[in-house]
Amino acid sequence: MAFVTRQFVRSVSSSSAASASAKKIIVKHVTVIGGGLMGAGIAQVCGSLIRFSSNSAVSVAAATGHTVVLVDQTEDILAKSKKGIEESLRKVAKKKFAENPKAGDEFVEKTLSSISTSTDAASVVHSTDLVVEAIVENLKVKSELFTRLDKFASEHTIFASNTSSLQITNIANATTRQDRFAGLHFFNPVPLMKLVEVIKTPMTSQKTYESLIDFTKALGKHPVSCKDTPGFIVNRLLVPYLLEAVRLYERGDASKEDIDTAMKLGAGYPMGPFELLDYVGLDTTKFILDGWYEMDAKNPLFQPIPSLNKLVAENKLGKKTGEGYYKYK
């Protein structure tokens, strides 16, 4: 009797698992909104037909079969995005197919052929499985976009935002599909960075969450899960660390140079906090901090930084403008 019971339990468990698995959305068609650095990178990894292992060898996991539509406002922006994707792919091909250039050319051409472009998001989302938004970090703009797309997208379509600083719940509330809405936070540069934060709001269904985990793995990325908390995992730990470094400097406790050197040699970090701030962009860090301060003004970690505000006001945003906490030639 015990044997029969165990067999019955195993059978029911297997059937339940199979049923749950069958309900998940298998993402094949992806629409990426935003042709900037992040959007183009996401489109590239979605369109790549070959996945690579961490070493130089080509992995066996190939042909995920994703087709991608990259959307932005003008053809000029999309042309630049497509050119950037091709240049990035050729760098990958040169490295990964060093001994077989012909195979490298085929890899580039096949990937590019799976990525099309459009300036009309509403006309392409009706047949997509997943919409990934990577536009300006502005809640109003994102909300207006998703409200519009919600009217045209298929019932099964999952919406995801690549935001690094805004709350996913607030964006999802602009739609009628809160259960099919989540965060997919990729990291720059997207083709190289393995991590993707999968953000589950209180309304995100388990089916949506599991579908996105599977999709992320299919891209050859490593997903981590997080609730819809400010900054998610990486930025919630990284940004306060960067800001504490600035406060240490502002108090006169140590110089920028010594703080950077200490964290590189003492903690093993590849870049010091001031070097990283300038690399990321001081305006980006200020934007994140301002958003967190609005949400929780009493949190000591989220208090304004005088030197950061001054540099941003002077348009000294870091490496991209030639000067931030350091000067660049």
Strands (DSSP E) along 213-293, which ranges? Answer: 222-227
Over the stretch 58-68, which tens digit does the pLDDT of each residue have?
332 233 568 99
Mean pLDDT of 115-142: 95
Catalytic residues: 164, 185, 197, 235
Domain holding 45, by residue range, is: 25-227
Rounded CA gap, 215 and 221, in Å?
A: 9
Same domain, 47 and 70: yes
Residue 128 and residue 162 in one domain: yes
pLDDT tens per residue, range 175-214: 999 999 999 999 989 999 999 999 999 999 999 999 999 9
88 marked among binding-site residues: yes
Do 198 and 302 share a structural domain? no
Residues 121 and 221 in one domain: yes
Same domain, 312 and 166: no
Whether residues 44 and 171 fall in one domain: yes
Alpha helix (H) residue ranges in 114-158: 121-124, 139-152
Given a cut of 50, whether residue 12 has pLDDT beyond it is no
Domain-located, residue 159? yes
Number of domains in the chain: 2
pLDDT score at 52: 52
Q: Is the pLDDT of residue 259 over 90?
A: yes
Task: Using pLDDT thresholds of 50, 70 and 90, give the confidence band for residue 329.
Answer: confident
Closest of 155, 232, 158, 237 to residue 198, by C-alpha: 232
Q: Is 188 annotated as a binding residue?
A: yes
Q: Tell whether residue 37 is among the known ligand binding residues.
A: yes
Amino acid at 325: Y
Q: Considering the chain, what is the average pLDDT of its residues?
A: 89
* Position 11 pLDDT exceeds 70: no
Q: Is 137 annotated as a binding residue?
A: yes
Residues 211, 295 within the same domain: no
